[in-house]
Amino acid sequence: MAVLVEGLSVIIRASAIHDKFPGGWEAFKHIVPNKTLCADNEIVRIGFMTSNDVESFIKNLEKEGLGFLNDGEAIDIVVADQMRGLTSKCSWAEFGRINLGPKRNQEVGACRLVDSQVMQVVTPPDWKFDGSLSETYGFVPSGQKQNGLKFLRHENDIDVYYDSLSEKEVYVGRTGE
C-alpha cells in the first residue's frame, strides 16, 4: 500500500514504531501533534506545513529511540516533500505520484515501502481531495517571504496570512513554536 504525502511528510517504518518506540503504537499515537496521521501497516505518515515543525517532531522521535539519518541515509524516518519526493537517500521507501479518482486532475504524492505490491493510498480520516494541499498547493521556502503575503495573526495553532494576489486569507498549520 501507500500513504498520502502532502506538504512535508514525516514517513516512519511501522516496524520501527512497534520495535523501538517505548509503548509501541498506542504510545506513538499520543505524541502525534496534528490530525494528519495515516498508516498502511508498513509505513506511517504525519504531515506538516513548515520545516521547523518537521525538525521538532523528528527530534522528539529520536529522543524515543528512532533513528533519522546515518551518513545521509534514512534509518527509521525519512522526510517526503509533496512536490520533490524523498529528501534523503532511503533504501526502504519510495515516492511517486498517483491519480486518486476518475478525474485526471486528482493527482497526489504518495510514499510506500519498497516492493509493496498494493497501490491503494491511505489518507488521514476525513481527508478529501477537494480543498486539500494536493489540490491547492503553494510553497514559500523557509526564510523567504512571498510577495503579497502579509501575516495577520496566530490562532489555534494556525498562522493566518492575507494573500493580496488572491485577495483571500491563507492558513499555515503549526505544531511547534
For residues 2 and 111, is the Cβ–Cβ distance under 8 A? yes
Neighbours of 95 (CB within 10 A): 21
- 3-class DSSP state of 60: helix
For residues 111 and 5, is the Cβ–Cβ distance under 8 A? yes
- b (16+ CB within 10 A) / e for 133-147: bbeeeeeeeeeeeee
Note the pLDDT of residue 130.
Answer: 86
Note the pLDDT of residue 142.
Answer: 45
DSSP characters over 22-52: TTHHHHHHHH--SS--EE-SSEEEEEESSHH
pLDDT at 145 over 70: no
Note the pLDDT of residue 23.
Answer: 97
Residue 11 identity (one-letter amino acid): I
pLDDT in tens, 70-117: 999 999 999 999 999 999 999 999 999 988 877 667 889 999 999 997
Note the pLDDT of residue 99.
Answer: 87
% of the chain residues with pLDDT over 90: 61
pLDDT at 7 over 60: yes
Grade residue 175 by pLDDT with cuts at 50, 70 and 90.
low
pTM of the model: 0.80
pLDDT at 49 over 80: yes
Phi, then psi, of 39 in degrees rounded to 5: -150, 150
pLDDT at 149 over 90: no
